[in-house]
Amino acid sequence: MAESDIGLDPTFVGGRYRLLEVAGSGAMATVHRAHDEVLGRDVAVKTFRTHAPDPRHEERRRGEMQVLARLNHPSLVRLYDAGTDAQDDGTTQVAYLVMEFVDGTDLRQRLASGALTSDDARLLALDLAGALAYVHALGIVHRDIKPANILVPHADPNHRRRPVKLTDFGIARLTDASRLTLTNTTIGTANYLSPEQARGEKVGPASDIYSLGLVLLESLTGSMEFTGGAVEAAVARLLRDPRIPTHLGGPWASLLPRMTARDAADRPDATEIVRVLRGEAPADGGAPTRAIESPDPADGALTQALAPAVFEGAGTQVMPSASAAVHTAQMSRLGAEQDGQQTRAWRAATLVPELPQDPPAVPSHAPSSARPRGGSAARASRRPRRGLFWAAVTVGILAALLVIVPLVLRAVLPAQPANLPPLPASPAVSGQLGTHLDQLERSLRP
């Protein structure tokens, strides 16, 4: 396109930007690579046509300038300057924008040589989804996501990858702004329109997500999903969903169908897409697996209840909840109480006397009404009684043996001769026990 078509000095724009080759051209404007003679750097100068077919192109230019002036993100083209320049006749002003120049190619030209690998597509999606999350948070909808508006920079001299750049906010709009087009007028590129754009309805951030899904699908397969003319391509997405090849694998096989859902409410937002691509969220939109919190080591009941699930087997075990652990501990205490009751019943049935149990310990800070009466003196008085009880039981058992054993022996053994020596005396035993033994021995002697 000749310089006279845009009415600019063929050498300079704004007195400082020397125009070089044409980098791109559209219906509303032409983009040149230019050199900033003041700062000594290459820039992109976008000049708007004086006779653009859209009567509201001036509003769009202002809107793009206002949008770009607010943006500052690594994956968005930056705006450096804006102004107007007079035509040769000196009466008509031609507007221009000075933006960051990206040394590279656009995604449309890159895909002409073949599809991207899954890893390259993931990096591309991370850059673009991050940029959309940023602009959507500012209340801006791009409305024209397509490969031609995605710039792929060349690697730097150290072969480090540079982030892709989303450009051309000429038809972007604020979500709460008035429309710049007539009612029911569709705006955007037909092959990447969302269903709501194809119906001429109000669009929001979900519309950009749908278009990004089609761009990623094309990047992975190497072919455009909705081809044909404007009407054919626009109507096709109203009749069917995009075809997602199963061989794409994760996360694409689950993520792309959600991004290109016909119902805007079913699509993930840009932030969720970033989390999915980073492996921080499931691609199918399900609830993420939450880590099990470790129980308090001081809580013995919880530790005991959770121990079998943690250490049994090598596979992942289902962990009980805190309420289940408490219930398990309560059941264990109840079983212990039942075992104690059965033990006491068995003792009573076998006539084994049960010793009196000490009362439970009461903290020193407990009220006086909760403490046992008598204090330590009462507990001390019980100890000698328990000793006497066991002494009496021992004496009774020994006495029974001394009575029963001789009688059994007399009945079984023959009578002893009269000349047998007398029985030896029993050893002396002191105390009350010795007294009882002496009495028992005298009663048994002939």
**CB-side exposure of 219: number of CA atoms within 13 Å?**
27
Positions annotated as catalytic residues are: 144
For 407, the token pair is 């009688």
Cβ within 8 Å of residue 76, ≥6 positions away: 131, 134, 135, 165, 166, 167
SS3 per-residue string spanning 181-235: CCCCCCCCCHHHCCHHHHCCCCCCHHHHHHHHHHHHHHHHHCCCCCCCCHHHHHH
**With the CA atoms of 316, 322, 323 and 329 taken in that order, what torsion angle do they form, in degrees rounded to the nearest 10?**
90
First-residue to last-residue Cα distance in the chain: 149
Enumerate helices (H) and strands (E) in the chain, giving the number of each. Answer: 12, 11
Cβ(60)–Cβ(74) below 8 Å: no
Which residues are paired to 12 by β-bridges? 18
DSSP string, 133-188: HHHHHTTEE-----GGGEEEEPP-TT------EE---TT-EETTSPPSS-TT---S
